[in-house]
Structure 1
C-alpha cells in the first residue's frame, strides 16, 4: 500500500513541476495538458486523474505560490519588544520572499493568466489577501495593546505591503528589474517603518 502511494505522490509532483516549466515557457493559455503530460513523462489520463482541468492544476501551483508567502505569519506580536524591531523582522522576511526568483516566475505566470479572466484575478487577489493576513493580525494585536492609534488593521497592513511592493515586486514583475540588493532592501524597510510609525504609533 505504501509503495503505490509513494509512486502516486511522485507522479503528482512530476506533473506539478512539468506544469510550472510549461507555464513558464509558454504561458497559461498556450500550455496544454498534452504538453504537461509529455514533459512529466506520464499519460494524459494520469494528469487528469490528479487534476480534473488545467485550471485546477494552475490553482494548485498558485497554492504553492501563496504558501511561500506565509512565512510572515510566524511572527507573533510581543508586548515587550519595540514596535520598530518587530516590524523590521516582518518586512525583512517579506523582502527575502519577494527576492526569490522562483516566486517571481510563478507570480508572472499567475498575473499573465488572470489578465483575460476576471474570475482567476478575483481568486488570486483573494488568496493573496489571505496569505498577507499575518501582518494584519500583528497590527491588530499592537493596536489592542494600546501601542497604535485607532485604524483599520487590514487597511494599514495593505499600506505597508504597498510601500514594499512598489520597490520590490512590481518593478521586477512588470519591467524585469533585478531584485533589490541588501542595502536597497534595508533602505526600503526603514523608509516604510518611518512612514508607518509616524502615522500610527502612539
Structure 2
C-alpha cells in the first residue's frame, strides 16, 4: 500500500476541504450536545453556534435549518451505534465466551449517556420527525443483523447447533435494549445488578439451548 509522501505540500484546495470538514464536525458535536441537553424545541441555533465557536450564519450555511441539523446529528450518533455494536469480526469464535462478551459489550454501550439520550430525544420528536425515527430503527436493525451474523458464523463452525438465528438475534437484542436504555428512560438505574444479570442470562439461555 502506498504511504503518504511526508514532503507533499498541501494544496489550498485540500486545506480548505479539511478546514470545512473540521468546521462541520465542530458544528455537529456542538449540536449533539445542545440537543441532548435541551431537547429539540428548546435548542436554539444561536446556542449551537456559540457552542461550536462560530456564527449562526455559518451553521445555517453549512447545515441548513434546525430540522436538517437535528437529522444530521441523529445520523451521526446512529453511525456510532452501528459501529460499536459487536459482530462476528469483534467477538471470540467460541460462543461460550463470545455470547457473554456480546451481552456485556452491548449492555455497556446501550446504557451510555449518548445512547440513552438519543433514544429519549428521538422518542420525544417521533411524531414530528419520522426520518429521525427511521434512522434510529435502522441502527437497531444493523446491530441485530451483526449479532445474527455472529450466530450464523458459530453455526457454520459447528460450535452452535443449527436454529433460527434471526429469532435468537431478535430475542437477544430486545432483552438487552430493554434491560439497559429503555429502563433508564423510565428513571431506573441502568447499572443495576439485576439488569446486568438479565442481560447475561439471555446469552446463557442461547448457549444452553443451542450449544453444540
TM bucket, shorter chain: 0.7 to 0.9
1:66 aligns with 2:78: yes
Return the alpha-carbon distance in structure 1 between the equivalents of residues 76 and 134 of structure 2.
Answer: 17
Any stretches of 5+ residues in structure 2 without a counterpart?
1-11
The aligned counterpart of 1:75 is: 90
Q: Secondary structure at 1:139's aligned position in 2?
A: helix
TM-score scaled by length of structure 1: 0.80
Is contact 1:148-1:200 (8 Å) kept?
yes
1:158 aligns with 2:170: yes
Quote the offset at 1:138 in angstroms. 0.4
Return the alpha-carbon distance in structure 2 between the equivalents of residues 4 and 123 of structure 1.
Answer: 30
Which deviates more, 124-133 or 114-123? 114-123
Q: Per the alignment, do residues 154 and 58 of structure 1 end up closer, same or farther by CA in structure 2, a change over 3 Å counting?
A: farther
Alignment deviations for residues 95-130 of structure 1 (CA, whole Å, 9 cap, x no partner)? 121232233223321222224333432232123212
Return the alpha-carbon distance in structure 2 between the equivalents of residues 67 and 120 of structure 1.
Answer: 13
Quote the offset at 1:137 in angstroms. 0.7
Return the alpha-carbon distance in structure 1 between the equivalents of residues 152 and 206 of structure 2.
Answer: 14
Quote the offset at 1:21 in angstroms. 2.7
Is contact 2:179-2:190 (8 Å) kept?
no
The aligned counterpart of 2:188 is: 177
TM-score scaled by length of structure 2: 0.77
Alignment deviations for residues 137-191 of structure 1 (CA, whole Å, 9 cap, x no partner)? 101222233423321x333211101121222111102x1222215x446522331
Which deviates more, 155-164 or 127-136? 127-136
Q: Secondary structure at 2:125's aligned position in 1?
A: helix
Quote the offset at 1:77 in angstroms. 5.9
Return the alpha-carbon distance in structure 2 between the equivalents of residues 128 and 19 of structure 1.
Answer: 22
The aligned counterpart of 2:7 is: none
The structure whose Rg is larger is 2
Return the alpha-carbon distance in structure 1 between the equivalents of residues 101 and 108 of structure 2.
Answer: 11
Alignment deviations for residues 19-45 of structure 1 (CA, whole Å, 9 cap, x no partner)? 123212332234343442244332233
Return the alpha-carbon distance in structure 2 between the equivalents of residues 132 and 54 of structure 1.
Answer: 31
Please give the root-mean-square deviation of Cα atoms over the aligned residues, in Å. 2.6
1:53 aligns with 2:65: yes
Return the alpha-carbon distance in structure 2 between the equivalents of residues 27 and 66 of structure 1.
Answer: 17
Any stretches of 5+ residues in structure 1 without a counterpart?
none
